[in-house]
Amino acid sequence: MRKTPLFLITLLAAASVWGQPPADSQPAPTNVMGAQYPRVHADNRVTFQLKAPDAQKVQVSLAGRHDMTKGADGVWSVTTPPLVPGFHYYQLIVDGVSVNDPASHAFYGTSKDASGIEVPEKGVDYYSSKDVPHGEVRIRPYLSKITGLWRRSFVYTPPEYDDNPKARYPVLYLQHGSGEDETGWTFQGRANLILDNLIAAKKAVPMIIVMDNGYASRPGPAAPDAAVAGRGAAGGTSAFEDVIVKDLIPLIDSTYRTIADREHRAMAGLSMGGNQTCQVTMRNLDKFAYIGAFSGTMNGLSTEPLDPATAFIGMFKDGATLNKKVKLFWIGMGTAEPNPFPGAIGAFRAMLDKAGVRHVYFESPGTAHEWLTWRRDLNDFAPRLFR
Amino acid sequence: MRKTPLFLITLLAAASVWGQPPADSQPAPTNVMGAQYPRVHADNRVTFQLKAPDAQKVQVSLAGRHDMTKGADGVWSVTTPPLVPGFHYYQLIVDGVSVNDPASHAFYGTSKDASGIEVPEKGVDYYSSKDVPHGEVRIRPYLSKITGLWRRSFVYTPPEYDDNPKARYPVLYLQHGSGEDETGWTFQGRANLILDNLIAAKKAVPMIIVMDNGYASRPGPAAPDAAVAGRGAAGGTSAFEDVIVKDLIPLIDSTYRTIADREHRAMAGLSMGGNQTCQVTMRNLDKFAYIGAFSGTMNGLSTEPLDPATAFIGMFKDGATLNKKVKLFWIGMGTAEPNPFPGAIGAFRAMLDKAGVRHVYFESPGTAHEWLTWRRDLNDFAPRLFR
């Protein structure tokens, strides 16, 4: 009586692009349901495939460009050298056009929904889904008084949040990097899983994490940065501080059961978000007592020496006073980060040292300007908060 | 002291692909931040662009294929005929390869994270973000006892949920279609906004909506449907009923403040999800009293006449008894749906009529097998629940 259902037809159509997989490898965890490629080998080499019978040239762009070879069936393939574990954005280059791999999930980064691949990290499970109590990530829409536009926050609430309707929690504001958005720390960074695991192990106190979009501009003609970039008014960053201070903190403190004082409010961010974190927290020390700068500090990409007496209108020059106000100034970086990050972060740290500003410095071994660095950062940073 | 920050470099690189936009048009709401194309014209024509200097042929695949024309700057462009409003998946075809448009957000559908475009619907705002109280969509991970794998639900809680810590709510289980997943009803369907607006207007009672993944298989060798399709054990649908009944209902009733009886539990789904809804609810009438079949019924794609005495082991034959148990049997379809949907849904309805099973039938004018049909379905269906 029943014919082939629609979903089977769809599956059959999709199946034809997948060949027989090599035995020493597994589909990447970031593959779409059922996709057999990309496959990660035991030594972290990765094999990619794409069916493109009519294309002239196909490459994988991931830690360099890798030429793919066309098989008799029109399927192009390549196996890369071993990759660093963790999450990587990547693209396929088809006849010169940078496109997504249809077999991988997309993640907002590099200013678009780009393909991502997760290379499992052996013997490491602090960012894995484990059988511990899990919190939620709540998608919270709000109308910004600053931008005049609807925005959304991704808000992590800890596992016990709904079971303790009278308990109140400290809050970490946690920002993504350039070309990313409010989804990055959940889908690429796994901040929720990292906190679930830290809280279950009693290594971190239960906290709320607010992940918002670092891009925000006032209504009307685009600000200079946005205009230069060809973006609309929604694309700049000039109103971000006001969004955090005037929109978001009041929204979060009135919507969730927070402890609404500076001693229970932290901010951290990666790359552009680290720069923004330094600026927002240092200009609002009445609101924040914990600062985390992940692969990005207040001097942006500049590697020039900084004199605390004059840099940033002297806001770092009085180390003794800052040390009383700031309970934690945490700076992290991967040891494989490219220029200018080591120089820039080094110059900023040298300025803090010169001014006597206490700070924790953390290095992620062997990782570059990438999400595994920032997962490790969060895993070290979060346990130090609100103690 | 500061050089050009990283995010500006990224923006400047991206800006070069965007030309001067025509004045009678606006960037689509589904564009990534700052992208000027695709642009929707006042008459719902849409102009697409892609920079691809080395490609031989580029098309847009959206309600047919539209050849793009290459400009002197290597940017291909085309303006489509007027499109039906609402959400559409689409692809660019570059030298024969179906790829995403980097300027649009991606949405999981057609078994991958595919480009999507929203064409605004004039004078209609039931699925818009409005200045009314908003609920949340909560990303809830759980370990399935049935599949042995981690899964996740998207759980909508109504605006008042956290303000009334003793109130309990009815639950709608709401399923996506073939090649989609648990994200579809939020990002393509806007179920949360539809309910926010209905609840604010007092047209629907506050309810929880659970949106899960319709694909589920038991561990071990792949079930026949999964094996045929080349999918792994996670890709079939054979264990979905058990996931709903044995994993999900207990999880939801123990995690959220539900009213945990059949009179306060509904299920609906679209296309494949409509088929699944009929099967799960009819086999578990002790657990569900409300049924919604959106563009998909128990007979799948078959248009053959159904005799209630024998079809589906006779489970519809006793209309009088069913009418007492089922408080609402709701069936919807777009008037522009292609074959076999009108025939299949018609055959199913004829069987219900023959058996005397009461049902509501709703038609969405001018829409096909697409998300605007299902938004309208939910907007008609939800107000009828739990009355």
Interface test with A, best of B1, B3, B4, B11 (most A CBs within 10 A): B11
Q: For residues A315 and A322, give the distance between their C-alpha atoms in angstroms, rounded to a whole number.
A: 9
Structure tokens at A180: 């990313």
Q: Choose among B114, B41, B109: nearest CA to B80.
A: B41
In chain B, what residues touch A25 (CB-CB under 8 Å)?
none
Q: Above 70 in pLDDT, residue B7?
A: no
Q: What is the DSSP letter of A246?
A: I
Cβ of B230 within 8 Å of Cβ of A300? The answer is: no
Cβ atoms within 10 Å, residue A104: 24
Q: What is the ipTM of this complex?
A: 0.92
**Which of A94, A139, A232 has its CB closest to that of B136?**
A139
- Which string of b and e fits B52-91 if b means at least 16 CB within 10 Å? beebeebbbebeeebebebeeeebbbbbbeebbbbbbbbb
Cβ of B18 within 8 Å of Cβ of A54? The answer is: no
What percentage of chain B's residues is helix, strand, coil (to nearest 5)?
25, 25, 45
Residues in chain A with pLDDT values less than 50: 1-18, 223-234
In chain B, what residues touch A31 (CB-CB under 8 Å)?
none
Q: What is the Cβ-side half-sphere exposure of residue A2, based on CA atoms within 13 angstroms? A: 13
Structure tokens at B167: 């109130």
Cβ of B111 within 8 Å of Cβ of A226? The answer is: no
**Which of B104, B136, B230 has its CB closest to that of A138?**
B136
Mean pLDDT of B189-218: 98
Q: For residues A165 and A257, give the distance between their C-alpha atoms in angstroms, rounded to a whole number.
A: 8
Cβ atoms within 10 Å, residue B169: 21
Q: What is the pLDDT of residue B23?
A: 77
Q: What is the pLDDT of residue B22?
A: 73
Confidence of residue B289 (pLDDT cuts 50, 70, 90): very high
In chain A, what residues touch B138 (CB-CB under 8 Å)?
136-139
Cβ of B5 within 8 Å of Cβ of A301? The answer is: yes
Q: B92: helix, coil or strand?
A: strand
Q: For residues A291 and A47, give the distance between their C-alpha atoms in angstroms, rounded to a whole number.
A: 40
In chain A, what residues touch B7 (CB-CB under 8 Å)?
177-179, 237, 272
Q: Choose among A49, A113, A112, A46: nearest CA to A85.
A: A46
Q: Above 70 in pLDDT, residue B262?
A: yes
Cβ of A99 within 8 Å of Cβ of B96? The answer is: no
- As beta bridge partners, residue B266 has B172, B290
Confidence of residue B115 (pLDDT cuts 50, 70, 90): very high
Q: What is the pLDDT of residue B358?
A: 98
Q: For residues A92 and A24, give the distance between their C-alpha atoms in angstroms, rounded to a whole number.
A: 24
Least CA distance to A9: which residue of chain B?
B229
Q: For residues B43 and B51, give the distance between their C-alpha atoms in angstroms, rounded to a whole number.
A: 25
Q: For residues A93 and B241, give the distance between their C-alpha atoms in angstroms, rounded to a whole number.
A: 41
Q: Above 90 in pLDDT, residue B231?
A: no
Q: For residues A269 and A276, give the distance between their C-alpha atoms in angstroms, rounded to a whole number.
A: 7
Q: What is the pLDDT of residue A220?
A: 76
- Which string of b and e fits A5-28 if b means at least 16 CB within 10 Å? bbbbebbeebbebbeeeeeebebb
Q: What is the DSSP letter of A82?
A: P
- Which string of b and e fits B21-44 if b means at least 16 CB within 10 Å? eeeebebbebbbbbbbbbbbbeeb
Q: For residues A105 and A90, give the distance between their C-alpha atoms in angstroms, rounded to a whole number.
A: 11
Residue whose structure tokens are 């037809």: A9
Structure tokens at A339: 């220029």
- Which string of b and e fits A78-101 if b means at least 16 CB within 10 Å? bbbeebbbbbbbbbbbbbbbbbbb
For the stretch A170-203, pLDDT in tens is 999 999 999 999 999 999 999 999 999 999 999 9
Out of A234-243, B181-190, B201-210, least confident range: A234-243
Structure tokens at B385: 């629940």
Helices (H), chain A: 6-15, 184-187, 191-200, 224-228, 240-242, 249-255, 272-282, 319-325, 341-355, 371-381
For chain B, give the percent of residues with pLDDT over 70. Answer: 91
Q: What is the pLDDT of residue A23?
A: 78
Q: For residues B204 and B381, give the distance between their C-alpha atoms in angstroms, rounded to a whole number.
A: 9
Nearby residues of A321 by Cβ (< 8 Å), 6 or more positions away: none
In chain B, what residues touch A10 (CB-CB under 8 Å)?
110-111, 178-179
Bridging pattern class, strands B360-364 and B328-334:
parallel
Across chain B, the runs of DSSP E, i.e. the strands, are: 25-27, 39-41, 46-51, 58-61, 65-67, 69-70, 75-79, 86-94, 97-99, 106-109, 112-119, 136-143, 150-157, 171-175, 208-211, 265-270, 290-294, 328-334, 360-364
**Which of A36, A96, A165 has its CB closest to that of B54?**
A96
For the stretch B364-384, pLDDT in tens is 999 999 999 999 999 999 999
Average pLDDT for chain A: 92
Mean pLDDT of B207-216: 98
Nearby residues of B249 by Cβ (< 8 Å), 6 or more positions away: B265, B287
Q: What is the DSSP letter of B96?
A: T
Cβ of B229 within 8 Å of Cβ of A34? The answer is: yes
Cβ of B113 within 8 Å of Cβ of A99? The answer is: no
In chain A, what residues touch B140 (CB-CB under 8 Å)?
134, 136
Confidence of residue B222 (pLDDT cuts 50, 70, 90): low
Distance from CA of A250 to the nearest CA of B (A): 16
Q: Choose among A99, A103, A91: nearest CA to A38.
A: A103
Q: What is the pLDDT of residue A214?
A: 98
Q: Above 60 in pLDDT, residue B11?
A: no
Q: For residues B185 and B171, give the distance between their C-alpha atoms in angstroms, rounded to a whole number.
A: 15
Cβ of B138 within 8 Å of Cβ of A134? The answer is: no
Q: What is the pLDDT of residue B19?
A: 52
**Which of B6, B51, B226 has its CB closest to that of A178?**
B6
For chains A and B, CB pairs below 8 A equal 255
For the stretch A4-51, pLDDT in tens is 444 434 433 333 344 567 778 999 999 999 999 999 999 999 999 999
